[in-house]
Structure 1
């Protein structure tokens, strides 16, 4: 299997067992050690992976690093572990800060088994930065994340190569975070900046600020919707190159013929399909609801003219729900019973999707829970 395949196997296992892992020690054994092994390091060789490495700091004796990755007998990467789902705030990175200062390692990793935050010393030499330059979520990653993580793998590990891209990664991540904040809540300075040339002689009063804040937010949503629509159109043409990074949207219409339930509303002209900002927001709400059951990358959206289907694993036989938002004044959600018959419910707003959280989780669980069948010998086995 490829590097990414090993990560997917671990991701699925963790998604199914994370509720059983309650302690820091269990997190290390079930989550962190397999992760380190995927990077190519032998967790059973103390000359390569040393648990509980002594890292005395000043008057503090007996300080230990949870795991130290060694090369030529010297630490190159330190792992500080918290229990599964535990906080990874700066307050919880105190030990890692101290260890980093007294060892030769250039990279520190703070993890709770689900999220891995990678630190180095970009700001001041030999002093670990307060903010990570890279973050990897084992339950939600894309190919770009995997390519960055691969640089830490044993066969490819090169300190200078990682440091050369660390600054770029750090600031790219910071800018993405800021843009995401502006997408939902544009700051006054940003609204003032984008509206300056539009106001002419008008002053930036409180009422103007309120008006242009709403316009800016709407412009963001429409821009993203148009980009997604361009992606959908481009994906339908095999000869058309992708202009933007892949999104968690599966535009293929040919797979809709796999199940009779999905053929009734199949559009004659896919080019007429437009993914709206409301559909995109509804898709992300559904993803967040079922997030505790499956990795978000497994939940995809397939848009059509009359509805927007949300599927598990891009499989038309695994429908989670349908968003029927074409009439924005009358939002509806379609849910499926055990026989895959759709029942539609009205929504007053997108927030009402959360009222159907149990049904959405049940739909996903029906595809992920093994079915026990009775064998001829009287024993039970997974179907």
Structure 2
């Protein structure tokens, strides 16, 4: 099962059960362990997942992290869990102390709903105070799912994740700054735009007046972009539906094979039966033409007859299967193309040999 489907299933489970989960221990078993399982690790295999992990390196007696995920005998992720009702705070966390005394590069702080992944971007072997990846498992976006997938047992690559962690961390912080500016534009942000459109002196009063204008302008711009995308998507969907309707109409229209078409088929059979048994010469009627095939194989057209329009035509095929459309006055003219029809059969039979 794909990881996005598994995560969606876990999110649904969390939304259904969380009001029944009262303790940290219940949170671990109902929410956190299933997440670890989704990452491909066996929570019941002590070689992969160690509960109540203790690093025997002079730490306070009895101090542990909830889980350590192992690979090749070394911890690769240490996990600290809280009750789903608790807000996450990394201060005073055991993760800080365990991070620098193990070989792990990743620490996970979670309450089963919010997940915070940490590494050591600022100082090597010292856990950062801010996570490089944070998400609410009940509200995942596609790009976040892609990042989660990198922690899967089958994909886990320390260097790849760490090299990308810096970008994730700064993108996250920049997005926070953008959001803050959109909610309440700072003087610096306001001056940037006001200075490009206002020709007078940017006094404090002018800047204050422009704050509201900048906020409205940005909001309207974002709404316009969203509407443009929605309209484009709706237009594409409308075209798609129209195309589907056209296909449906075409499929439902029954093709009627005329007696003239069957007579033409009999003429072709009469020409080719000296080279082929009649059961290998098959007709297939369509709305556009009446086709005659070798072995009922549409890759082996013998000819096509266009008899239902104002003018009649026969289509013949050369060694490259290129179609040549020739006018005929009646189906009796098919006899004139005996040579071409026999040559087409010979080409297919030669290829078969």
Do both share a fold (TM > 0.5)?
yes
In the superposition, the TM-score normalised over structure 2's length comes to 0.65
The answer to whether the 8 Å contact 2:194/2:207 transfers is no
Matches within 5 A, 1:22-171: 22-56=22-56, 58-91=58-91, 94-171=93-170
Q: Secondary structure at the match of 1:67?
A: strand
CA–CA separation in structure 2 for the residues paired with 1:55 and 1:236: 57
Find the partner of 2:233 among 216, 235, 246: 235
Aligned mates of 1:146, 1:15 — CA distance in 2:
18
Report the Cα offset of residue 35 of structure 1. 0.5
Please say which structure displays the higher CA radius of gyration: 2
What is the CA RMSD across the aligned residues, in angstroms? 2.0
Q: What is the alpha-carbon distance in structure 1 between the residues aligned to residue 138 and residue 59 of structure 2?
A: 40
CA distance in 1, matches of 2:241, 2:183: 31
Partner of 1:17: 17
Q: Does 2:216 correspond to 1:218?
A: yes
> In the alignment, is the contact (CA less than 8 A) between 1:24 and 1:81 conserved in 2?
yes
Q: Which runs of 4+ in 1 moved over 6 A?
A: none
Structure 1 residues 67 and 212, CA gap change in structure 2 (3 angstroms) = same
SS class of match (1:102) = coil
Q: Secondary structure at the match of 2:109?
A: strand
Query: 2:167, 2:177 → 1: CA distance?
Result: 15
Unaligned runs of 5+ in 2: 243-353
C-alpha deviation, 1:137, in angstroms = 1.1
- SS of the equivalent of 2:100 reads helix
Query: Is the 1:133–1:166 Cα contact (8 Å) retained in structure 2?
Result: yes
Q: Answer 1 or 2: which has greater helix percent.
A: 2
Aligned-residue offset at 1:220: 1.4
Match in the other structure for 1:248: none
In the alignment, which residue of structure 2 is the partner of 1:7?
Answer: 7
When residues 102 and 4 of structure 1 are mapped into structure 2, their CA distance, relative to the original with a 3 A threshold, is same
SS at match of 2:70: strand
Say whether the 8 Å CA contact 1:57–1:98 is kept in structure 2.
no
1:210 Cα offset (Å): 2.0
